[in-house]
Homo-oligomer: A and B are copies of this chain.
């Protein structure tokens, strides 16, 4: 894509009205979004720092897209006072008329990139920061989007036909688990932010960075020890899967 078209696209996107009621990006990622948008070769098209939500859906509806969800509780922050949050969730569950589900959704970011190699660089940074489900989309008209996505997940059904199926003790534990995931999510965002700045800084600064840090960040490879006690092919599918992702990492590690 030529420079003028990309810049026009960028201006159009960044100047258009933010349709969110908040009217701005989430606090925990505003520095990342600003930094990306300050670069000539990138601009962000959507983002969410991560959130904990409780939503209600129509019971016994097999079609996910027709469940007509309503939201009972949502926060983008780590829950500082877990008992207060637990009470919010309990009150939310009292309003449930269908199947209520508790969910943690991690950081997600979509970035439009000028050239494919710009997307590759961003993808490398995302993978090495722990966002292993990241990927590139190339549209028919040349639009290149890099999506930063995590493998993090937590999705817990809590009620069925408005009948709550779990105890308060379980809700306390669940909020703690979601908090741990939110904390890990924030660490990864921080790592992504630091790696991104290092990768996009001017060439002369980058050299000194690489000398100092290439053994700590970019050469780091994920190794997991796994004590497997069930004999099933899926473990090996998983291992195979892991190996494949490691291979991808190897290819990408020295792109910067």
Q: Whose C-beta in chain B lies nearest to the C-beta of A183?
A: B62
A236 touches B20 (CB 8 A): yes
Contact of A136 among B68, B76, B138, B252 (CB under 8 A): B138
A237 contacts B by Cβ under 8 Å: yes
| B interface footprint on A181-195 (CB within 8 Å = 1, 0 otherwise) | 001100000000000
A165 contacts B by Cβ under 8 Å: yes
**In the complex, A23→B24 CA distance in Å?**
51
B232 touches A141 (CB 8 A): no
Whole-angstrom distance between the Cβ of A196 and the nearest chain B Cβ: 18
Which applies to chain A's interface (DSSP): helix, strand, loop or mixed?
mixed
A38 contacts B by Cβ under 8 Å: no
Contact of A165 among B149, B169, B230, B244 (CB under 8 A): B169
B residues in contact with A64, CB < 8 Å: 184
A141 touches B20 (CB 8 A): no
Whole-angstrom distance between the Cβ of A23 and the nearest chain B Cβ: 8
**In the complex, A173→B59 CA distance in Å?**
12
B residues in contact with A173, CB < 8 Å: 157, 160, 165
B69 touches A226 (CB 8 A): yes
B237 touches A47 (CB 8 A): yes
B residues in contact with A155, CB < 8 Å: 153-156
A233 touches B21 (CB 8 A): yes
Known: A20-B233, A70-B228, A71-B235. A140 touches B65 (CB 8 A): no
B residues in contact with A235, CB < 8 Å: 21, 71, 74
Known: A71-B228, A227-B70. A19 touches B239 (CB 8 A): yes
B110 touches A236 (CB 8 A): no
* A residues 134-178 in Cβ contact with B at 8 Å: 134-141, 143, 145, 147, 149, 153-157, 160, 165-167, 169-170, 173-174, 177
A157 touches B177 (CB 8 A): yes
* A residues 34-50 in Cβ contact with B at 8 Å: 45-48
A31 contacts B by Cβ under 8 Å: no
**In the complex, A24→B237 CA distance in Å?**
9
Q: Which residues of A contact B (CB under 8 A)?
A: 18-24, 26, 45-48, 51, 53, 62, 64-65, 68-74, 76, 108, 110, 116, 119-120, 123, 133-141, 143, 145, 147, 149, 153-157, 160, 165-167, 169-170, 173-174, 177, 180, 183-184, 222, 224-241, 243-244, 248, 251-252, 254-255
| Top-3 shortest CB links A-B | A135-B135, A22-B233, A139-B251
